[in-house]
Structure 1
Amino acid sequence: MASDFWTHNIFANNQLPNAARTSIANQLYMGQNPTFATANFLIVTYDLSRLGIPDGQIVVGAEQQYWTWKRPGPDRVGLNTLAYYQTFLDRKFELKLGYLRNANEFTGTLFAGVSGSNMFALFQAGMSTNAAPTPAVNLKYNLDDHLYNKVSMQRSISPDGPYAEITENPTGLNWSTANTGILFVDELGYKSKAAPGVPDTWLRAGVGFNSGHYKNLADPDQQRQSGNSFHYIAADRQLWQSDVEGTPSRGIYGGFSIMGAPPDLNRISRYYELRLYAKGPFDSRPTDLISLVASNTAWSKVAVDAALAKGQLAHRDTTAITGTYIAHLAPGIYATLGLSYIHNPTSITHTAQTEHALDLLVSTLIFF
């Protein structure tokens, strides 16, 4: 039996003057007020090979989170995962079932915490999260050592988003919540690990279909309608190996992500991301990481037009450029320092004082 405990702590604060500080209850984006968040995890894995079941595992995990800004929360203590994992036919097939967090199973978030892929584009369409695991069955078929296809049948999270899901089901144990349905996800990918003279490569594309009942953003008061969807494509490629014979994964990488969802049911209709990053940028710091990420979030035309019709200040997209340095300070201890410029940091509507933000980002990740 193996157990892992880790804590992830994040702080963000807008450095621009006239940042429109407000009460915590009225805060509109992370960093508008000094914002702190912590998430703590305990995962226990029982290896069933000792009972004669090769590659069999039972995984049980709990999560506690706290935010000074409650919208991404709310605060909770509850289930993180409860899963059974098994391989079949010489590891051609991998099965995982139970209460799963599919945000860790699909698309591949490369940068933890304060930068990287904006998974909310998929959360809004029902994908489960660390704080909102749901019953699911995942099956991965490894066509060869590189090519794979992975499918999931998951109970979707609330159509009203992770906040509504966690509020109704803080422990994560409920079999269902209001207006949820079945989310089907399919990802096809190619993955090749770095080797001397062979660059690290990961290509993947996926689709999701959700039978849950969503509000139509053109008229939220009308009867909910069934069915939602998303799609994504992402690629990451090692562009240069700095230590070919020693640690071939060290070097410079580039990548992109594109995500989309119907604008009548989802506040985010498109998400675009470009990333450039270096693993082990210095010989003296072989396990550090530097990243530069540019992203654009296109908000639903339906929701923007509805806000404009009410006379509100509204924007059609949000653009961010984020630079971070992740330092491996000691075994199991990482610290991140970053700076993120965001044009229109709020969701769809804004005030004259909330059009720009320059967030200082600090985080720590500690494994015990």
Structure 2
Amino acid sequence: PRHPKSRIARNIPFPSYGDSLLRDEGGWRSALASAGFGFQAYNIAVFEANMLDTPRQVPSNYPPCTSRYSQATGAICAGNQTYFGQRPSYINETIAWLTYDMSRWGVPDGQLMVAGLYSAGNDVGYLPNSLQLYQLAWYQTFLDKKLEIKFGYVTNTTEFIGTFVGSNLASTFGPSGSIPIQLGMSISPTPSFRTTWHVTDTIYNQAAVQRSLPINSVTGNVIFDEALTNPAGINWNGPKGTRELFIDELGYKQPASPGNPQTWLRLDLLYNTSTFRDFSHLPANPGATRDGNFGVTFLADRQLWQQDHSSPLAAARGLYAGISVMYAPPEATGISQYYEGRAYWIGPFDNRPTDMFSLVAARNVVSHYLSDATNRFSGLTGVFAARTSNSVTATYTAHLMPGLWGTIGVGYTDHPSLAYFKTEGPSFNVLASLLVNM
């Protein structure tokens, strides 16, 4: 691997219709709502570039790239890019949502949703270019909203764990851990069925079963291989060996209110029945596989200082701290441990109550089976494998106007790619992004 209506239905909520560029100009949204429809779209553009005097690509003394998938795998071949931002890199992603209120047909709290995705960039190993279905799902509540279900084609990275700093969709930077995605959690739509049980107003348990991303397919990059083998996003089954991923999340979530700081704790267990590569047999048997792999993640965020007690909306302002710990067995997981500490300040200035400053430090630990096998032959190949990767990222996200957020920042990483060439060096990237909510 390279480096709306529900209370919990999305742990990273969309901005409201009032916080959009078009809002209800001319009454167009009201007209849609009168017919039972809701529409929302956002576009996010991301840019990174390394500012250090280090190579922008693999040197010419390495063998030429012979595979059309070399960029997807970060292969060490002449002229290739091994990490996002090694040379100036960008992605642009647009997602458009349409929902329909099924209560008009006698189904209270029923909602049908469909979304499409367009993405483009110059590093397909980071995010493949695609035009596809993003979601097609039914959402429903039962038992006075204590029980929720959602099923269809779903992207579970926005349903579980909550890795966005400050739960802010506009905060695109800061390491967030790749272990759930390595275990097959969908970052693009796969068939999924999810339930959420609100045990109390603050304690919840949600579980899902989904078709895994393709774990052991063409390139080994699960995001690229899903786009390659399922370009329209509608395949029910994946490539051979792709089976089910089971996810369970137990959480405690207390929103901020005057005098009550925000707290969010979540423990996730993941088990995938798919066929994985077995790194413990390297280098003798590079084709060895094993069925099944698991992972566990724990994340905690706490508001340490409440800056404004004047209203429930203002109570979220203040200083926060959080941690992430993730683990999966090194026998079948390229990056098997992840540790993150984060501090962030929501609403640092009275005249900018929804801006956010964040500082994130993270450490990735690479499977020792994979790194040892690679480094054993480094004298012959000139290819090395990092045993750890450490990074620090500082960003400021400004809410420029309704529907528009801009982020700038910097990030330092000592080993920005898992496999690297000797003179690759660290990265010190300038970061920028722009999020537009329609």
Please give the range of the TM-score, normalised by the shorter of the 2 chains: over 0.9
Question: Does residue 293 in structure 1 map to residue 346 in structure 2?
Answer: no
Which of 297, 309, 332 is matched with 1:244 structurally? 309
Give 1:148 shift: 0.5
Partner of 1:102: 156
Q: State which drifts further: 336-345 or 221-230.
A: 221-230
Give 1:330 shift: 0.6
- Unmatched tracts of structure 2, length 5 or more: 1-36, 60-70, 72-78
Amino acid at match of 2:244: I
Give yes or no for contact 1:20–1:353 (8 Å, CA) kept in 2. no
Partner of 1:138: 194
Q: State which drifts further: 174-183 or 216-225.
A: 216-225
Amino acid at match of 2:434: T
Question: Does residue 120 in structure 1 map to residue 178 in structure 2?
Answer: yes
Give 1:49 shift: 1.9
CA RMSD of superposed structures (Å) = 1.4
TM-score (norm 2): 0.81
Q: Which has the higher contact order (CA 8 A, sep 6+)?
A: 2
Q: Distance in 2 between matches of 1:19 and 1:196?
A: 51
Question: Does residue 216 in structure 1 map to residue 286 in structure 2?
Answer: no
Q: Distance in 2 between matches of 1:117 and 1:361?
A: 13
Give yes or no for contact 1:22–1:33 (8 Å, CA) kept in 2. no
Q: Distance in 1 between matches of 2:137 and 2:392?
A: 37
Identity of aligned residues (%): 37
Question: Does residue 15 in structure 1 map to residue 51 in structure 2?
Answer: yes
Which of 338, 341, 348 is matched with 2:412 structurally? 341
Q: Distance in 2 between matches of 1:26 and 1:45?
A: 42
Task: Report matched runs for 1:44-193 at 5 Å.
Answer: 44-111=98-165, 112=169, 114-129=172-187, 132-159=188-215, 160=220, 161-178=222-239, 179-193=241-255
Give 1:117 shift: 4.7
Q: State which drifts further: 310-319 or 18-27.
A: 18-27
Give 1:244 shift: 1.0
Give 1:51 shift: 2.2
More strand by share: 1
TM-score (norm 1): 0.96
Q: Deviations over 1:72-97 (max 9, x none)?
A: 23211001111100000011101000
Which of 408, 415, 425 is matched with 1:355 structurally? 425
Q: Distance in 2 between matches of 1:140 and 1:350?
A: 42
More helix by share: 2
Amino acid at match of 2:326: M
Q: Distance in 1 between matches of 2:287 and 2:262?
A: 49
Give 1:223 shift: 4.3
Using a 3 Å threshold, how does the CA distance of structure 1 residues 119 and 133 change in structure 2: closer, same or farther? farther
Q: Distance in 2 between matches of 1:249 and 1:354?
A: 42
State the secondary structure of the residue aligned to 1:354: coil
Give yes or no for contact 1:109–1:116 (8 Å, CA) kept in 2. no
**Matched residues, number:** 365
Amino acid at match of 1:315: A
Give yes or no for contact 2:344–2:359 (8 Å, CA) kept in 1. yes
Give 1:114 shift: 3.6
Give 1:314 shift: 2.4
